[in-house]
Amino acid sequence: MRKPEAFIFDLNGTMIDDMEYHAVAWSSVLNDDLKAGLTYDQVKLQMYGKNSELLDRVFGKNHFTPEKLEEISMDKEHRYQKDYLEHMKLIDGLDDFLERAVDHEIKMAIGSAAIPFNIDYILDNLDIRNYLSAVVSADDVVISKPDPETFLKAASLLGVDPEACIVFEDAPKGVEAAQNAGMRAVVLTTMHSKEDFSQYTNVLAFVSDYNDPQLVHLFN
């Protein structure tokens, strides 16, 4: 395996184990406020891409004005942040993993469908911004995952060829985006089981956290 020159992290569910908090917030907004009538599992299946794209999938395109989409999106994020704050922490082993990447001169970036409001909330509260040379958010791309734009833009900002990047993802659509970008991926099993990724050929490993010995090979 070619030695990686860059690690690109999808933030939520990959650096922090917070996806259940997003699901609870979305379920509240979609079902309690907007009467979508979705089961909890159906809500989780819709949790990929930009907030506006999720709302378009559930209610149909142009159901809400752009202003209303923004209002709903921010309401959901405020609920998520309020509930998650006291539980916020890095996934086990990530702090040492980041330090090891620095020692091996591996560049790092975030490639996320989250809005800057949420990304800044995590990076600043956990004080990990200094490890990152680039951050690509929902505001930086036209089409979100599984389109490869997010990861390709991150690689471009890092000045690294796509094939020299390893993506850390927790969602099938994210792994598909990595595959579409020509990148290999490590899957964090915080939200999905291995079976959900069976169609993808770019997965190097499935890990529950960053203490997994499989990750040692990334530095060899």
* 100 and 81 belong to one structural domain: no
Reported as a single tens digit per residue, the pLDDT across 122-169 is 999 999 999 999 999 999 999 999 999 999 999 999 999 999 999 999
Split at pLDDT 50, 70, 90, the class of 48 is confident
**What is the pLDDT at residue 220?**
84
Reported as a single tens digit per residue, the pLDDT across 2-19 is 789 999 999 999 999 999
Whether residue 181 lies inside any domain: the answer is yes
* 128 and 59 belong to one structural domain: no
Whether residue 164 lies inside any domain: the answer is yes
pLDDT at 179 over 80: yes
63, 86, 109 — which closes off a domain? 86
Domain that holds residue 81: 19-86
The angle that helices 51-59 and 66-84 make with each other, rounded to 10 degrees, is: 110
DSSP assignment of 141-187 equals -SS-TTSTHHHHHHHHHHT--GGGEEEEESSHHHHHHHHHTT-EEEE
**What is the pLDDT at residue 215?**
97
pLDDT at 189 over 90: yes
Reported as a single tens digit per residue, the pLDDT across 58-84 is 999 999 999 999 999 999 999 999 999
pLDDT at 29 over 80: yes
* 123 and 27 belong to one structural domain: no
**What is the pLDDT at residue 8?**
99
- Rounded Cα–Cα distance for residues 139 and 52 (Å): 11
66, 86, 106 — which closes off a domain? 86
Identify the CA nearest to 11 among candidates 22, 26, 2, 27.
22
The residues near 49 (Cβ < 8 Å, ≥ 6 apart) are: 113, 144, 145, 173
* 109 and 195 belong to one structural domain: yes
Helix (H, G, I), strand (E, B) or coil at 95: helix
For residues 61, 20, 118, 192, the Cα torsion angle rounded to the nearest 10 degrees is -80
Residue type, position 199, single letter: Q
* 104 and 199 belong to one structural domain: yes
pLDDT at 204 over 90: yes
pLDDT at 173 over 90: yes
Q: What integer best gives the mean pLDDT of the chain?
A: 96
Distances in Å between the Cα of 27 and the Cα atoms of 21, 68, 79, 155, 185 are 10, 18, 11, 34, 29
48, 71, 86 — which closes off a domain? 86
Helix (H, G, I), strand (E, B) or coil at 110: strand
pLDDT at 49 over 90: no
Average pLDDT over residues 162-189: 98
* 82 and 93 belong to one structural domain: no
* 167 and 82 belong to one structural domain: no
* 52 and 130 belong to one structural domain: no
* 23 and 124 belong to one structural domain: no
**What is the pLDDT at residue 28?**
98
User: Could you give phi then psi for residue 212, rounded to 5 degrees?
Assistant: -60, 130
Whether residue 184 lies inside any domain: the answer is yes
pLDDT at 211 over 80: yes
* 51 and 155 belong to one structural domain: no
pLDDT at 1 over 90: no
Split at pLDDT 50, 70, 90, the class of 214 is very high
If one counts the domains in the chain, the total is: 2
**In contact, 114 and 174? CB cutoff 8 Å:** no
* 69 and 42 belong to one structural domain: yes
Whether residue 1 lies inside any domain: the answer is no
Reported as a single tens digit per residue, the pLDDT across 88-115 is 999 999 999 999 999 999 999 999 999 9
Residue 172, domain CATH: 3.40.50.1000
* 42 and 133 belong to one structural domain: no
